[in-house]
Each structure stands twice: as structure tokens, then as C-alpha cells.
Amino acid sequence: MRAIKFRGRCVDRDLKTNEIKQNGKLIIGSLDVPRLGAPRVYISGFVVGDKKQNIPLKVEVDPETVGQYTGFADGIGRELYEGDKIKIHYVYDIDDRDETEYRIKYNTKEGCWEVVCDSDGYHEEWLCAGSAVNYVAIGG
């Protein structure tokens, strides 16, 4: 069975002005949207890389940074999430590498994950276990 989890960047909200700003920390866990169309989105889980934290948190996140776990990992074992930037390391010959940046997105029409070119949105390939070993995650 595949794990269903989400990742997003935590935000700090100014209580006086209600202005938000990203604090750069990533959190992985369950997505919590209080009601459809709500301006605030939360993830209940653990902050990535915080070795001291043993208690799950419910943290407000920037909705633009939320991505669902694809169930796949890149060639060095990092989990791949919707919205991740990747490079595909196909080696055509010793001196020729494809260094184009791509993004992972969910294709609602086909019902599966796809890899699209970051610059022009061109569909490159469907995300599957066999192809994921050629990917290197470079950002979220």
C-alpha cells in the first residue's frame, strides 16, 4: 500500500497584519484544509531535519508549496513530491547529458504522475518506478 502524505513550507503569520512569510522549514505529514476554499492550509506532522522534535505539530503552510508524495524516490533515495524540480540523467554518450530541468505534476485526465519540462510545460514522460532511478531531485 502506498503512503499518502504531503509536504509544504511552513509560514509565520504576523498576528497584527495577518501577513504571512515563509520561514523555509519543510513539514511532512497529513494535509488539513479546514473547509473548501479556506485561505489557510495546515500540515500535521514533523519538521524535516529537526532531530530534537519528537512531538507532531500542526503548522500553517504556504498553499503554493504543498505537494503530495508520489510514492517514488529519485536515483539516490530521496522521496519525490508533486511540484519537485528534477533533472533526468539520461546518458546518451560519455559527453552528452540531458541537463534540462523538469517538474513533477499530477495529470488529472490520465490519473497519474507525469514529468513536464519546467520551461515550456512539454510532457516528457510518465513517472514510474523504472524511470525514477534516472531522476535527481534539485528542489521543491
Residue 35 CA to residue 45 CA, distance in Å, equals 19
Residue with cell 473548501: 36
Residue 60 CA to residue 10 CA, distance in Å, equals 6
Q: What is the pLDDT of residue 67?
A: 94
Q: Percentage of residues in the chain with pLDDT exceeding 90?
A: 14
Q: What is the pLDDT of residue 104?
A: 92
State pTM to two decimals.
Answer: 0.79
Residue 1 lies in a domain: no
Q: Identify which has the larger pLDDT, 118 or 9.
A: 9
Same domain as 47, residue 75: no
Can you tell me the mean pLDDT for 11-15?
75
| Range of the structural domain that residue 97 is part of | 69-139
Q: Percentage of residues in the chain with pLDDT exceeding 70?
A: 75
Q: How far apart are the first and last CA of the chain?
A: 24
Residue 38 lies in a domain: yes
Same domain as 108, residue 50: no
Distance from chain centroid for Cα 19: 24
SS3 63: helix
Same domain as 80, residue 50: no
Domain count, the chain: 2
